[in-house]
Each structure stands twice: as structure tokens, then as C-alpha cells.
Amino acid sequence: MLVGAIDRADVATIVDYLEASTAPLRVAQIRVLGGAVARVPAEATAFAHRARRIMVNVAAIYEHPDEQSRHEAWVTDFAAALRRGETGAYVNFLGDEGEARIREAYPGSTWDRLRAIKSRYDPTNLFRLNQNIPPA
């Protein structure tokens, strides 16, 4: 997710969630954006969130398939606890979350541009086993 700030309460939430997880590896990755990323116009590439300040990725790595629902619930709850109504996502961190989340990665005119490109180069949507953008 993309957020505008992380305050002391958020830090406490992050520590609490990490301590509560039973996954062998649990992560709250915080990437400060800006700099060179922010100097490229949003229209120049597929990454439309160049003005955003912070990217956060939460994940749980576990061994046994029967643990999936427990760890997925933890990730979902953890992300919800940090989200402040802001939208936006980095497509390389998305799982199978549906078209709405893909649209958060490619908002507005970015989505429209990518659909037009897809129509030109892949009109039959052969390459669809990814975070799919259907042809226009």
C-alpha cells in the first residue's frame, strides 16, 4: 500500500502485529519514496504513484498449506490497521486480490494508457496470467 506518513501509533501497531504473528518469517517493509522516483512524470511509465511518500508491504512466510487462512487473515488485518483511506498499490507486491486492487496500482489515465497498449500488442489477451489489464 502507499501511505502519506507513519506516526508513533503506526510504529506501535507494526510492532504489535509482528509480535503477534506465528509465521516463521513476518515482514513490515517500509520504503521511503521520493528523490529520483518523484522526478519522473507519472505519465512517463506505468508507475503512477511517483508523488507518494511511503510504500508499505506486509507479508507472512509460512511452511504448511494448512496455515494459509490464518496468515492471510493476519496480513489482511495488518494492512487494514495501517491504511488511512488512501488508495494506491505497487503491482509487484499484489497477490490474487482482484481487479479493484490492480486498478489501484494503475489509476485513472495510467489504466487507460495501458489498456490501449494491450489492445495494440495483445488484443486477444494471451498474456493474462499476471495482474491482468484487459485490452480496451
Please provide the DSSP assignment of 1-50 as one string. -EES---HHHHHHHHHHHHH--SSEEEEEEEE--THHHHS-GGGSS---T
Angle in degrees, 0-180, between the axes of helices 68-82 and 8-20, rounded to the nearest 10: 170
Cell numbers placing 54: 511511503
Cell numbers placing 20: 503477534
With CA atoms as reference, report the closest residue to 28 among 51, 12, 48.
Answer: 12
Q: In tens digits, what is the pLDDT along the chain, a chain of 136 residues?
A: 999 899 999 999 999 999 999 999 999 999 999 999 899 998 999 999 999 999 999 999 999 999 999 999 999 999 999 988 878 899 998 988 889 999 999 999 999 999 999 999 999 999 999 999 999 9
Task: Identify whether the C-beta of residue 90 lies closer than 8 Å to the C-beta of residue 105.
Answer: yes
Selected from 1.10.3720.10, 3.40.718.10, 1.25.40.10, 3.40.462.20, the CATH number assigned to the domain covering 2-106 reads: 3.40.462.20
